[in-house]
Amino acid sequence: MEMDIITSQQNLQEKRASLNILSRPDGSVIFSQGETTVLAGCYGPIEAKSQKILTDKVCVEVYYRPKSGIPSIGDRSYEAIIKNVCEVALVTSLYPRTSIMIVLQEMQNCGGLISCAINAACAALLDAGVDMKFLIGAVSCAINEDNIIKLEPPALEWENSKAGFLFVFDSFEGRIVASHTTGSFSVNQFKEALKTCRDASGAVFKYFRDKIKESVMTNDLKTD
């Protein structure tokens, strides 16, 4: 018999972002969720390599670099997830025969790394001024052995959890753009995890909107 599902009352990890910190990319950000930190750079739209030219839309490339060593199979799966969600969010038909490259560098992993990387990619695209249909916001949670759902728990709790969830939502209607799960869980646990993350995604989009306003105000002051 399945035990009751309990949702922890903890809040999302504090978000921090510094935009336009690198000189070479068109958009860049160092993005933190708690102690987990990812550096992201966005290049483009730029001329696509001949073998990657798409006549009707932009070619989206994502490169994920771990904190140390060479990328693993797991890192390649990160690239695929981030590439897919970015393709859905971008107005790809505006940039045919071009390429948009997103490079992500893991700086510190204290839990919730993939959601942090997705949010960093969104922030870098915003900083680059690339046209998007909507913002994307990623939230992750885990279910521990006591059937308690925790938002973005520390790395050790992630490792000891019986199930993990990543959900990516759009900023308009909170629809699911992508999801990724690990471990063993029931249908009810999936639904509760989805509801928990969807409710929390509003804080992610509010943070993005606040950063955009802050950036606009800063640019206006520089212009004056």
Q: Could you report the per-residue pLDDT of 161-180, keeping only the tens digit for each?
A: 999 999 999 999 999 999 99
What are phi and psi for residue 18, nearest 5 degrees?
A: -120, 115
Q: Is the dihedral of CA 9, 210, 139, 20 positive or negative?
A: negative
Give residue 166's pLDDT.
Answer: 96
Q: Tell me whether strands 148-151 and 136-143 are parallel, antiparallel or unpaired.
A: antiparallel
Position 212 pLDDT exceeds 70:
yes
CA distance 119 to 17: 10
Domains annotated for the chain, with CATH where assigned, are: 6-223 (3.30.230.70)
Are the C-beta atoms of 38 and 51 separated by less than 8 Å? no
Give residue 221's pLDDT.
Answer: 43
Indicate whether this model's pTM tops 0.85. yes
